[in-house]
Amino acid sequence: MVNTLTKPQALLSLEDYYLSLLEEEKGILSSSIATQAKKRLKQYGLPTNRHEEWKYTSLDNLYKAKPLLNNEAKINYGNENLPLKHTADMIIVSVAKQTIIGNVPTGLSIDFTNNNQAIEQFNARFNEVLPEDPMLSLNQALCHRVITVNITKNTVIEAPIVIDYGNDGASSFQTQNAILKSVQVVVSLEQSAQATLLECHRNLTGEKELSIIACAFNLAQNAQCQHYSVSNQQMENQHFWYGYGSVGRDAHLQSNSLVAGEQLARRFFCNDLNGEGAEVTVNSAYQAKETQTLDIRTFTRHLKPNCQSMQLHQGLLDDRSTGVFNGMIYVDPVALKTDGQMDNNVMLLTPQAQNNSKPQLEIYADDVKCSHGFTCGSIDKNQLYYMRSRGIPEALARKQILKAFIARVTENFPSYINV
Amino acid sequence: MLEIKNLHAQVEDGGKSIINGIDLTINKGEVHAIMGPNGSGKSSLSNVIAGHEGYEVTDGQLYFEGEDIGELDIDERAAKGIFLAFQYPVEIPGVSNQFFMQTALNSIREKKGLEPLSVVEFNQLLKKKMELLHMPEELLNRSVNVGFSGGEKKRNDVFQMAVLEPKLAILDETDSGLDIDALRAVADGINSQRSADRSFLVITHYQRLLDYVKPDFVHVLYQGKIVRSGTAELALELEENGYNSIAQ
C-alpha cells in the first residue's frame, strides 16, 4: 500500500484522486494489463523527490486530469495547424478522430483496435523496465486510444506517417479538470521495411492537458525507421512520453525530438539492440523557460555484438527552468564490439536555470567503445564578441548562437517539418 | 581616419592598467604596424579600438572619422567601418560561413540605412570576393571556423574583411601560427584589400609579415605605450637587435 507517512499533502490528494478515478474510468487495453497497472499504482503511489528517479522532477503539481471523452462528432479541426510545410503527400493519422487522411499504400496497415499481441508484448516489456512508474501505470490503466502501424516485409513507405495527437475535446468536456490524453502507439516494421514516423504533439483546446503517450517500435532484421517528434504545446501542458524500441539484426532506428513548450515534460526512451549490427540514434533538443521542467531519459541496452548507439541531447535553459537528463548505456557480456556514445550539452541562460545530468555506463563486455559526456555552460562570450565585431547586434548574435546550439539536433529534421 | 589621444585603459573591474597613454593617428590609406614584445598591450589596443567590453577606457579619446567612438558598442563600431581580424578567430558551430557573412553585411547595411542585399545579390558579391581571394567554395557551407586549419581561419578573417569592406582593418597577429605558404596567402589577401580609402593597423611580433605587407609606419609598443615610431626600417632594426634594445 501507499506509504502515507512522509508524503506532502498535495501528493496524497493526487493519489486519492487517481485511485478513485481508476475505480470510475476504464481504458481500452486488455483487463490483464489494466489490472496490473492499477495494482502497481496502488502499491507504489506517486513518488516524492526522495525517489531517485523523481528527485528533480516533481509530481506535486500534476494535474487532476480526466480522460478525454470520445465524442467524435464535436471534433472539428483539420490539419492546418500541424507543424508541417505541406501535408499533401503524407499519411496523417488523427488520434482523437481515429481517421486516416492520405493514401495508405499496400504493405502498410494502420489499425485502431486494441487486441493484438504486439501491445501485450511491449507493455510487458515496459513493466519490466519501469515497474514503479506511476505515469506509465496511468497510461496503461486509462489508455483510450491505440494505434497499431504495421509495415510488411520489404515495403518502403515513402510518405511520412504523421501521428497527430491534436484534439479539441473542450466542447465535450464540462468539468474543471484537465484533460487526460492517454495513448499507445505500436509501430512494427517487418524485415527490410522502411518508414518515417512523425509524432505531432499538440493541444488545440486551450485547456490544461496531461498527455501520457507510450510508443513502441519493433524493427525486424534490416528494417529502418526514422522517428521525429515535435510539439507546439502550451505551458498549460504536462507531457509524458514513454518509448520502447526493439531493434533487430542490422536494423536502424533513428529518433530526433524537439521538446519545448510544456510546463512539465518527461521523455523516456528505452532501446534494446536485439540483433547483431543493430543501430540506434536518439537525439533530443529541449528548450525550457519560465518555470518549466523538461526531463529526458534514455536506457539503451546493447544485447548483441557489433551494435551501435548514438545519442546527442542539447538543452537550452532560460529563466528559472529546470532540465534533467538521465541516460544509461548497458552493455551485456555478449555484446562485444559495442559502440555506444551519449552526450548531453546544456546551455544555461540565467544563473537561476538549472540542469541535472546523469549520464551512466554499465559495461559487462570487454572490447567495447563507449563514451558518455556532459557539458554545461553559458553563452560563449568570445563567440558573441566575434559576431558583434562583424556588425551583428548583440540580440541577433545571441539568437543565432542559441539557434545553432539547438540545430545540432534540429538540423536532422526533414525540411517539411517546421521547427 | 583613426585618432587616438592619450588613451589609457585597464581590464574591467579595476584590473591591471594595460594601455598607458597612447597617441596615434592613422590617415586614410595608410598602413601602420605595431610591434612589441609579449604583454606589451598590442592585442589589448586592438580590442579597445574594436570596443571589447572587457576593457575600460580610463582616460583619453578615440576618434574615428572625426567622431568620438568611445561610447559606441562593438557592432556599432563595426558598422562605422572598423574591422578586427582576430589573433584566434572564434569557432561558431552550427552557423554557416555564408549565413554569418550575410547576417553581418545586412546588419551593417541596416545601420547605415541601406536596404538588405537579397540572397541573389549577396551570392554574387560573395562569388566575386571568393574568386579574388582564391577561397574554396566549400568553405561557405561549413560552420564558421569549425574544423578550419590555422591558415584557413586567418584567411577566412581576411575574406570577411573583403566582404564587409571596412574603412579601417585591424589585424591582430594575423601572422601567428602560420607556415610560410599560409603566411604568403594571407598577406596576398591583405594586399588585395589595400586601397587609398582603406587604412590598416597591423599588429605583429615579427618582422616577417611586414616583408609582404609593407607598412608606411612602424610603432613599438612597450608597457602600454608607444616608445618609438619610424618607417619600415624600424622593423628591420628590431629584428636585428630585439625589443630589449628599445626597452633600454
Q: Inter-chain contact B86–A408, Cβ cutoff 8 Å?
A: no
Nearest to B79 among A391, A408, A411 (CB): A391
B52: nearest CA partner in chain A: A385
User: What mean pLDDT comes out for the span B59-67?
Assistant: 94
| Residue numbers in A near B104 (CB within 8 A) | 387, 390-392
CA distance A304 to A221: 13
Q: Are B77 and B129 in contact (CB under 8 A)?
A: no
Domain boundaries defined on chain A = 4-410
Ranges A10-14, A20-24, A280-284, B239-243: which has the least confidence: B239-243
Local confidence band at A75 (pLDDT 50, 70, 90 cut-offs): low
Q: Inter-chain contact B90–A408, Cβ cutoff 8 Å?
A: no
Q: Is A351 left (phi over 0), alpha (psi -120 to 50) or beta?
A: alpha
Cβ-based contacts under 8 A for chains A and B: 74
Can you read off the three cell numbers belonging to residue A85?
510545410
Amino acid A171: pLDDT: 45
The pLDDT tens digits for A355-376 are 999 999 999 999 999 999 999 9
Nearest to B107 among A393, A404, A411 (CB): A393
Q: Across all residues in chain A, what is the average pLDDT?
A: 90
Can you read off the three cell numbers belonging to residue B5?
589621444
Q: Inter-chain contact A405–B94, Cβ cutoff 8 Å?
A: yes
Residue A334: CB atoms within 10 A of its CB come to 13
pLDDT, greater one: B204 or A225: A225
CA distance B164 to B177: 25
**Residues in a beta bridge with B159:** none
Nearest to A389 among B50, B91, B94 (CB): B50
* Alpha-carbon gap: A47 to the closest alpha carbon of chain B (Å): 40
E strands, A68-220, in order = 91-94, 99-101, 108-111, 145-151, 161-164, 178-189, 194-201, 209-219
Q: Inter-chain contact A401–B95, Cβ cutoff 8 Å?
A: yes
pLDDT, greater one: A218 or A29: A218
3-class DSSP state of A214: strand
Task: Tell me what percent of the residues of chain A surpass a pLDDT of 70.
Answer: 93
Local confidence band at A67 (pLDDT 50, 70, 90 cut-offs): confident
Chain A residue set in contact with B, beta carbons under 8 Å: 380, 382-383, 385-394, 396-397, 400-401, 403-405, 407-408, 411
pTM: 0.86
Residue A51: CB atoms within 10 A of its CB come to 13
* Alpha-carbon gap: B55 to the closest alpha carbon of chain A (Å): 13
The ipTM estimated for the assembled molecules is 0.95
Residue A78 has pLDDT above 70, yes or no: no
B164: nearest CA partner in chain A: A390
Q: Inter-chain contact A385–B108, Cβ cutoff 8 Å?
A: no
Local confidence band at A329 (pLDDT 50, 70, 90 cut-offs): very high
Amino acid A73: pLDDT: 39
**Residues in a beta bridge with A297:** A268, A326
User: What mean pLDDT comes out for the span B188-194?
Assistant: 86
